[in-house]
Amino acid sequence: MRIWIDLSAPAHPVVFRPLVQRLRAAGHEVEVTARDFAQTLELAQLAGIDALPVGAHGGRSAGGKLRSLAERSTALWRWARSRPRFDLAAAHGSNDLPIVARVLRIPAVDLFDYEWATFQHMIGCRLARRVIVPDAIPPERLRRYGAGPRKLRRYPGLKEEYFLHDFEPDPAILERVGADPERIIVVLRTPPTAALYHRVHNPVYADLLDRLGSDPDVHAVVLPRQREQADELRRLALPSVIVPEGAVDGPSLVSASDLVISAGGSMNREAVALGVPVYTTFQGRMGGVDEKLLREGKLRRLERASDVEIRRRDREAPRLRRDPQLIVDLILGTLR
């Protein structure tokens, strides 16, 4: 079977790495495209995925996103039409792939784990033949997107518990980023300022930098989403803040850390899956996955920088590993 996978955000290479490996091991021919956004292409290389760059991000404005959607969808349509016909296509929250797949009559699979990206899901869910989400998302929240019982499939747990099932951390990751293992290691992920769903101003982040940036007992490794964020952080020249050059093996860095603080979702859930204490500074509407983690005490909401507990973590915390073959079977089951 010929399968097309599209990567449109930095979290996607890590998500699809074990899926691509298993699909190819089963004899399927897999081709991968990727959007030139943030560090998606670099992270695809780190994950061992040979992805064809197609298109870029549309920026902060809704108009720019719509223009980018049209341009990238057109470019993907030209590319896909020139290839031998695909039997199946899959993406995690991509708008472009479902549009092109529908035009070319390729059955599409839409995976995601945050249900309030309304514009994205109005396109992806309606055009996909199958929608795959964690079971923490209530099905009734997805009906308005056209994801009813016939189309919807749900899996237990976090997607990160599946794609990190065989993960073993790089023991040299702290040395690679220039962090001192004798210090408390805090990983910060910057707010997703280019995302439409994150419109509410996030006042906590600057206070965190003030608190952590001059603490001699801490090394705060900050992972910016965009080059502008990295440039701004370097101009601050905070002595305890490290801004790595280029893409970083995120799961290894999270595993080596004592604490993660992130305004987004994927890194928070990686921390939960790896047993690392984690705070969220997300100011938008919480999705079902994070609501469940908050109820279980596995994720904490941070409203003031002074509330952060900075200490060494328990390195013996257990990990839950789930077999990604379940996700592979859900994807392939689209054609059954």
**Among 95, 109, 125, 151, which residue's Cα sits nearest to residue 4?**
109
State yes or no: pLDDT of 60 exceeds 60: no
Please report the pLDDT score of residue 63 as a whole number.
66
Question: Is the per-residue pLDDT at 195 higher than 50?
Answer: no
User: Are 194 and 57 within 8 A, CB to CB?
Assistant: yes
- Tokens representing 327 are 């996700």
* pLDDT score of 62: 61
307, amino acid identity: D
Q: Domains of the chain (ranges plus CATH)?
A: 2-165+323-335 (3.40.50.2000), 173-307 (3.40.50.2000)
Q: What per-residue confidence (pLDDT) applies to 163?
A: 96
Give the pLDDT score at 198.
42
Complete DSSP assignment for 87-103? SEEEEES-SHHHHHHHH
Q: 76-85, 184-193, 256-265 — which one is most confidently predicted on average?
A: 76-85
- For position 196, what pLDDT does the model report? 34
Q: Is 292 helix (H, G, I), strand (E, B) or coil?
A: helix
Per-residue pLDDT band for 193 (boundaries 50, 70, 90) equals: low
Is residue 314 predicted with pLDDT exceeding 80? yes
C-beta separation of 51 from 44 below 8 A? yes
pLDDT tens string 111-166: 999 999 999 999 999 999 999 999 999 999 999 999 999 999 999 999 999 999 99
- Checking if the pLDDT of 284 tops 50, the result is yes
Q: What is the pLDDT of residue 65?
A: 67
Q: How confident is the model at residue 204, as a pLDDT?
A: 83
85-105 core/surface letters (b: 16 or more CB in 10 A; e: else): ebbbbbbbbbbbbbbbbbebe
Distances (CA, A) of 87 to 2, 14, 22, 29, 104: 5, 23, 17, 10, 11
- Whether residue 197 is predicted with pLDDT greater than 70 in this model: the reply is no
In this prediction, residue 57 carries a pLDDT of 61
Per-chain mean pLDDT for the chain: 92
